[in-house]
């Protein structure tokens, strides 16, 4: 069984960077520069519900090469640019990590948040 979700709720662009920063301030945690902070409750709920049947969780981060520091991949490589104008990223990087669901502290929301933010 596979379930693909974006636990941060969306991809990174100018509006969501501000929301991520605001959330970090509210939760008194360090904001991330190149990715959004995940919404831990949704991910924890999914993992708890699927725990008997899913043994592994994969963390995938996608980055496009050549994006200037203050710009966002979504603005340059939008769906229209990709599929209609055929403007593709020269190189796309995919970073993935695998975690055993049994090693994740699912029963305690605070422990789960700390585990996730350390990743």
pLDDT band at 11 (very low <50, low <70, confident <90, very high): low
pLDDT in tens, 74-110: 778 877 888 888 888 889 899 999 999 999 999 999 9
- Which pTM does this prediction carry? 0.71
pLDDT at 12: 64
pLDDT at 7: 58
CA-to-CA separations, 68 to 1, 31, 48, 77, 116, in angstroms, rounded: 37, 20, 38, 13, 28
Residue 66 — left, alpha, or beta (φ > 0 → left; ψ -120 to 50 → alpha)? left
- Given a contact cutoff of 8 angstroms between Cβ atoms, the answer to whether 5 and 42 are in contact is yes
CA-to-CA separations, 18 to 45, 68, 70, 77, 118, in angstroms, rounded: 25, 18, 13, 20, 21
pLDDT in tens, 15-68: 667 777 887 788 788 877 777 777 788 889 989 998 888 889 888 888 888 888
pLDDT band at 10 (very low <50, low <70, confident <90, very high): low
């Amino acid at each position: 069984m596979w379930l693909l979700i974006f636990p941060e709720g969306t991809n990174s662009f100018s509006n969501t960077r501000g929301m991520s920063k605001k959330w970090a301030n509210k939760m008194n945690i360090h904001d991330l520069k190149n990715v959004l902070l995940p919404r831990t409750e949704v991910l924890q709920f999914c993992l708890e519900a699927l725990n008997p049947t899913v043994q592994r969780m994969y963390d995938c981060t996608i980055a496009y090469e050549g994006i200037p520091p203050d710009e966002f991949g979504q603005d340059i490589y939008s769906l229209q640019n990709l599929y209609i104008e055929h403007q593709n990223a020269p190189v796309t990087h995919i970073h993935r990590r695998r975690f055993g669901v049994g090693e994740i502290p699912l029963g305690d929301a605070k422990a789960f948040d700390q585990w996730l933010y350390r990743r």
